[in-house]
Amino acid sequence: MFGFYKLYIMVYCTLVYGEELHDLHSKELDKFSETHDLIVLTNLPQYFLNAETILYERNEFSYYEKLPFLFSLVKEHKNRVVYFDVDSIDLVKDKNFGFDNKSAYSYKIFKNTDYTDTQLRTDDGLNILCDIYSELGYEMCDYLHERIISIPYSQKIDKMFKEIVKLQPVFEENYSKGKKWKSYDFKRYSKIGCGYGEGGALSIILKNNNINILPLIEKNLI
């Protein structure tokens, strides 16, 4: 239905911001880049000797920036690109992932559609997401975890990139830095930056463009 699984020689990308994460991960990323096509969005490119870098120019950190970055690379390379959070490199290195030709893949997919609006709103982060979707006229969809994301190239990539950019201020405003949350995770995210509900934007854009979503799996080479 979606074509044969393929083992791609593909582009990888990640986002690194701040001295602490660079101190922890830059050497490992450089090593990874010796055998993989890796592009790093970073505010401190001097940390990297081998990996290709793109300068992160904003003064404030936004989790959301991974999305326009990822989609721009898919557009540029006209090929599937895999994004991974920098602290999740162990989940992608030395792995052989199998992909079909058309689907987007995620580290984990949360089945939000299995729950009622009332049930979802008991979570303060999802309560905000419900409000955003309602205001924009969207129905709830399943949620792609942002830790690892793989986006295929398609004729819709320009349209989806524009939609990602259009939603960015909406998500950065609603998931702002310093916002008070009940959720432990969101409390932690809000101390660091804004736009930490970015999976909600990604998920609805993929749904509205009829892009199939699947959980990430590793394929064995024989």
Sorted by where each begins, the domain ranges of the chain are 11-215
User: Residue 193 phi/psi, 5° resolution?
Assistant: -170, -160
Using an 8 Å Cβ cutoff, are 28 and 90 in contact?
A: no
CA–CA dist 179, 175 (Å, integer): 7
- What is the per-residue pLDDT for 219? 66
Q: To the nearest whole number, what is the mean pLDDT of the chain?
A: 93
Q: Kindly report, residue by residue over 93-129, the tens digit of the pLDDT.
A: 988 888 998 999 999 999 999 999 999 999 999 999 9
CATH number of 11-215, picked from 3.40.390, 1.10.10, 3.90.550, 1.10.260: 3.90.550
Using an 8 Å Cβ cutoff, are 54 and 70 in contact?
A: no
User: Residue 84 phi/psi, 5° resolution?
Assistant: -140, 140
Residue 112 burial (CB count, 10 A): 18
CA–chain centroid gap for 149, Å, is: 5
Q: Kindly report, residue by residue over 28-70, the tens digit of the pLDDT.
A: 999 999 999 999 999 999 999 999 999 999 999 999 999 999 9
What is the end-to-end Cα distance of the chain in Å, rounded?
Answer: 23
